[in-house]
Structures are given as C-alpha cells and as structure tokens.
Amino acid sequence: MSNLKKVLEIGKFAVTAECGPPKGADPESVLKKAKFLKNKVDAVNVTDNQTAIVRMSSLAACSLLKTGGFDPVLQMVVRDRNRIALQSDILGASALGIRNVLCLSGDHQIFGNQPQAMGVFDLDSIQFVQAVKAMRDNGTILGGDALNMPPDIFIGAAANPFADPLEFRAVRLSKKIMAGADFIQTQCIYNLKRFETWINMARDRGLTEKAFILGGVTPLKSPGMAKYMKNKVAGMDVPDGVIKRMDGVPRDKQREEGIRICVETIERLKETPGGKGGHIMAIEWEEVVGEIVERAGLLPRPV
Amino acid sequence: MITAEQKPIDEIREMIVPYKRILALGCGSCVAECAAGGEKETAMLASTLRMAGKMNGEDVDISEKTIDRQCVKEFVIQLDDVIDQYDAILSLGCGAGVQAIADMYPEVPVIPALNTEFIGETKDQGYWVESCIGCGDCMLYFFGGVCPLTRCSKQLLNGPCGGSMDGKCEVNPEVPCAWQLIIDRLTNFGALDRLEMIYPPKDWSKKQGAGPRKIIREDQQGSIS
Ligand code: SF4
Ligand code: SF4
C-alpha cells in the first residue's frame, strides 16, 4: 500500500519531495540523489521529462526507488503518450509495486530540447485521472474492457492556485477531484495570500474534505533564481516582497534565507485548514530537504 | 478557408529543374483569398521563375493559368485541352488541389509551389490565424465559440492548464490563452455552467480514421454544380 496514503489517512501532515531523474542511463545517480531523502519524507515524486527535456523515464526511476525502499510517486504527463500508452504504463507501474501516480498535462514541448516533437495530448490531465480511477475502482479501461487485475494506485493531480482565472481555479480543482484525484500537489507557493484565498475557495466547495491537498514549496538559492522563476517559469507567482527579502541579505546568507522562507511557508501550511501536507521541490538541491523537514518540526516521519 | 504560403523560390526552382515546359497553375479560391496562389501570385511566381531561368541561361518555358478551383474535378477538366503541352504542372493550389490534379492526370508530374498551412480566418490585412483542425465532431457550442482543440496549445477539453496567466498562454505571451477566452465568452452570456462537467476523451477516430476521411452523400450525387 502507498505509504503516502497511509500517512494522510491517519491524519498526519504529510511530506513529499521531488527527485528529478538523470539525463542519462546511470541507475546509481537516482539512488544517490534519493539518499538525501531517506526517512525524511513519506514519498518521493519522480518527474516525467520535466520542462520537456529528455531524461531517464519516470517509471524506470520509480522502480529503482522502490527497490531502494522508497514510496515513489510516478509523475506522468499526457504530452508524450496517448491513451493506449498511458493506461499500459499504469498497469506496468502497479505491477512494479508503484502505488502513487500524479497525472499531469506536462510542460509544452516547445520549452524543452525536443521542440520539434509532436505533442500528443490525446487525453487531458482530468480525463487521465478519470481513466486511472476507472481502472482501479471498476477494473475497466477506457471503452469498458475489463482488466484481469486492477491496478492499486493512489491517484494524484496537480493544481496551480496562482494561474488565471482565479475564480475558475476552484472549479477546475473540483473537476479533478470529481474525476478521482485522491490527493493534490500544488505549484510552488511564494504568494501565501493568494494560496490562502484559493484554499478557502476550495474549502467552501467542500473540496478539502474530498482530497488531501499538499502545498508545494521550492527553496530559493538566490534573488536571481527568484526573478528567473517569476519571469521565466510558466504559472509561477513570486511576489516582489520575496525577491526583496532574498536581495536584502548578503550573498553568503541567501541560501539560508531561502530555506527560512521555505520553512515558514510549511509552518503556515500546517496551520491552514485543509492543508494536509507539504511537497518540497528542491531543484537539484535534494540535500537540503532533510534540513527543511527537520526545521519545520516534521521529523521523525510517522511510518 | 484553407491557408497557404509560397515555398521559398530556391526550393521551387530545384523541383522544376528536370522540366522544360511548365504550367504555373493558380487557384482562384482559398489560396487566392490568402494571397498565396491566386491569379496575381501565379503571374508573379511565373515571371520570377522566367527571370531566374534567363539569368542562368536555362532553356525553360513557363506558362501561367488560373482556374477557379483546383480541388474540384469540374474545374480541373479545363486543362484537358492543354495538358499535353507541358512536361509538368507547378500548382499554386493547396495540398488538395495538387492531389486533385495528380489524380486527373496520372502521367503528368505535379509540383507543389505552396506549403498548405491550416483552416483559418482572415484577422486583418495580411494576417491569418488557425481556427479549426477539422476534428469531425464540432464542440464549439460547449466552448462558447472558441475551439480548444485548435487554439489551446495542449488541446485541453477541461482547461485551463496551470500555465494560463493574465490571459496569455504559457507557450508564448503573444498567444491568447484559449481557455481564458472560453471562460470570458461563456461568462458573457451566462453559460459558464457548461464547464462544470468533465468532457470525455475526444473520439479521434473521427479525425484520423483508417485512410483519408470521406463524405458520401447520395442526395448530392449526380448533381455537383
Ligand atoms: S471543435 Fe472540431 S470542428 Fe469545431 S472548430 Fe474545433 S476542430 Fe473545428
Ligand atoms: S495556457 Fe491556456 S491555451 Fe495555453 S496550454 Fe494552457 S490552457 Fe491551453
């Protein structure tokens, strides 16, 4: 059974972290990165060719992590596979003992290193969630054919509280949950006010009772990174106050400041009604995750 | 309409190298509307090719002609009397025009002079934009007259994605987010509730079946006008 699910269902504040697969075939590098996360988090998200850059497949990296004693969250984007491949990979993942999947649209192929690729987008992320749910709960694939063994999967979806239009974000979240999402991981939170507006809207619709919402955080390394995220990364909202804060400390203290912002955000999340966990995306900085979790008072992990 | 753009002149010149007597054939419909393959453009291309031929001392004879529709047999038939005079046809029709001519005259090489682009609308002078991918099952009613299959970069039927910001698509700030447009339009006429439901996966067999799609209407047969 999914460890993440277990933690959430016993009502503990869950912690997940992201681990990007390597740009190569080296299995050791996956485990080396993940080593920093051992006993620090409940589950490890493995990104799926994030920003449309070719990397080791998420499924393979998840399998390596599973063998290494982790509870992987298989991220799957609909950009690269049609409904045949998506459903087949869900069965494969379950067979390999992978118990969590995060269903995503994926960054557009134009952003990556294969801009000439055909974007598939046969299903959208909501239809994908729905398909996985039907596979698990009804034992059927799209079109109704029966499976001889349904997959055992805890279903996740993403939400971006900072994208527009705000009023419609709760509707979309509700569609994802209606489709079958058991848990939601959000885009990185820097604008807490907006996040809280969004989660209040979700609560008003009763959504925080229907799915576990994990707020995303990414520790900043520098003011430059903050500006880059604000200006260059799709769907990211980094308020000027945060950039100022990073700018306001000497260079050698900037990483510490980034960690501090991150820890404060998690502490706020713990207090937010409907906030059921934190998702730490320390991009190429996995070694800091343990410290963040510790300083946020979330150690030891329950299971 | 079907929109198209002329291929680079060097590419066209390379394709016509083997032939001496060539008919540059324009089309008076869509590609005339988008100023790619009408009578005017055909005359211009023919004269450019003649000039280039002359400058390079090539012995090539380029004639020109424009018919109303290259994609309709009844119009293509006009070529019956003259086709023997040419080694090749350089078609300024869309991909359908080129193939309709190739179909009619199995012995004659037909060379495309255009790159066929999309089904689109004329936004302004010299500005065309794609608006339909011909999916075979129109859903514009549900989406307030904005096609997400064509205009959303991820073809979402349950959008918008997390990249929609300030009405723009994550892919390019020049591109309006189709889903913002859909929400705005449905809000305008009080039909936003159409988006509460989950739209099921698209039936793509209506777009890409086995082989080319066909429309057969018995009520129209024998009466093409
Ligand atoms: S829904 Fe289909 S037919 Fe309608 S505009 Fe879009 S692509 Fe064209
Ligand atoms: S930003 Fe809007 S148009 Fe662009 S992919 Fe997302 S939903 Fe589609």
ipTM comes to 0.93
Cross-chain CB nearest to B196 (options A127, A171, A234): A171
- Residue A49 half-sphere exposure, CB side, CA atoms within 13 Å? 21
d(CA A58, CA B201): 24
Cβ distance A178 to B198 less than 8 Å, yes or no, reads yes
Say whether both B114 and B66 belong to one domain: yes
Bridge-based pairing state of the strands B114-124 and B127-132:
antiparallel
Shared-domain flag, residues B82 and B179: no
Both B114 and B147 in one domain: the answer is no
Both B113 and B139 in one domain: the answer is no
Q: Chain B residues within 8 A (CB-CB) of chain A?
A: 153-167, 170-172, 177, 180, 183, 195-196, 198-202, 204
Residue owning the nearest CA to atom 7 of ligand 2: B160
Q: Is the peptide bond before B201 cis (omega within 30 degrees of 0)?
A: no
Query: Which band of pLDDT confidence, cut at 50, 70 and 90, is reported for residue B206?
Result: very high
Tokens standing for B112? 């495309």
Q: Are B112 and B167 within one domain?
A: no
H-helix or E-strand spanning residue A58: helix A58-67
Q: Are A62 and A101 in contact (CB under 8 A)?
A: no
User: For residue B127, what are its two tokens?
Assistant: 């500005």
Q: Which of A179, A183, A180 minimizes the C-alpha distance to A158?
A: A183
Q: Judge if the beta carbon of residue B182 lies within 6 A of ligand 1.
A: no
Measured from the CB, is residue B145 less than 6 Å from ligand 1?
no
Which residue type sits at A98?
I
**Separation in Å, CA of A78 to nearest CA in chain B:** 9
Is residue A284 within 8 Å of A20, Cβ to Cβ? yes
Classify residue B45: in a domain, yes or no: yes
Angle between helices B39-55 and B9-16 (to 10 degrees): 70
Is residue B124 in a domain? no
Identity of the residue in B155, B199, B201 whose CB atom sits nearest the CB atom of A83:
B201
Residue B181 in any domain: the answer is yes
B48 and B9 both lie in a single domain: yes
User: Residue B129 pairs with which residues in a beta bridge?
Assistant: B121
B225: in domain: no
Residues B107 and B8 grouped into a single domain:
yes
Q: Residue type for A129, please? A: V
B32 and B113 in a common domain: yes
Where is the domain boundary, B93, B118, B143?
B118
Reported pTM: 0.95
- Among A127, A163, A175, select the one facing B163 at the smallest CB separation: A163
> What is the interface size between A and B, counted as CB pairs within 8 Å?
93
Residue B65 lies in a domain: yes
Query: Residue A282 corresponds to which tokens in the numbers above?
Result: 């320390």
**Tokens representing A221?**
């390394």
Q: Are residues B144 and B72 in the same domain?
A: no
In the three-class reduction of DSSP (H, G, I as helix; E, B as strand; rest coil), residue A33 is classed as helix
CB of A99 closer than 8 Å to CB of A1: yes
Q: Do the domain assignments include residue B130?
A: no
CATH number of the domain where residue B114 is located: 3.40.50.2300
pLDDT digits (tens, 9 = 90+) for B113-170: 999 999 999 999 999 999 999 999 999 999 999 999 999 999 999 999 999 999 999 9
| Contact residues of A toward B, CB < 8 A | 79, 83, 105-108, 110-111, 119, 121-127, 130-131, 142, 158-160, 163-165, 168, 171-172, 175, 178-179, 187, 234-235
Find residue A183's DSSP bridge partners.
Answer: A156, A212
Q: Is residue B58 part of a domain?
A: yes
Q: Along the 303 residues of chain A, how does pLDDT read in single tens digits?
A: 999 999 999 999 999 999 999 999 999 999 999 999 999 999 999 999 999 999 999 999 999 999 999 999 999 999 999 999 999 999 999 999 999 999 999 999 999 999 999 999 999 999 999 999 999 999 999 999 999 999 999 999 999 999 999 989 999 999 999 999 999 999 999 999 999 999 999 999 999 999 999 999 999 999 999 999 999 888 899 999 999 999 999 999 999 999 999 999 999 999 999 999 999 999 989 999 999 999 999 999 997
Q: What is the pLDDT, as a whole number, of residue A303? A: 75
Answer whether B164 contacts ligand 2 (Cβ < 6 A): yes
Do B88 and B169 belong together in one domain? no
Same domain, B92 and B154: no
Atom of ligand 1 nearest to the CA of B132: 8
State the DSSP code for B220. G
- Residues of chain B with Cβ-Cβ distance to A172 below 8 Å are 158-160
Query: Which tokens belong to A167?
Result: 């009023």
Number of structural domains (chain B) is 2
The domains of chain A, with CATH numbers, are 3-218+275-281 (3.20.20.220)
CB B90 within 8 Å of CB B25? yes
> Is B143 a member of any domain?
yes
Asked if pLDDT for residue B223 goes beyond 80, the answer is: no
Q: How far apart are CA B30 and CA B4, in angstroms?
A: 9
Q: Ligand 1 atom closest to Cα of B135?
A: 2
Can you give the residue range of the structural domain that contains B176?
A: 135-202
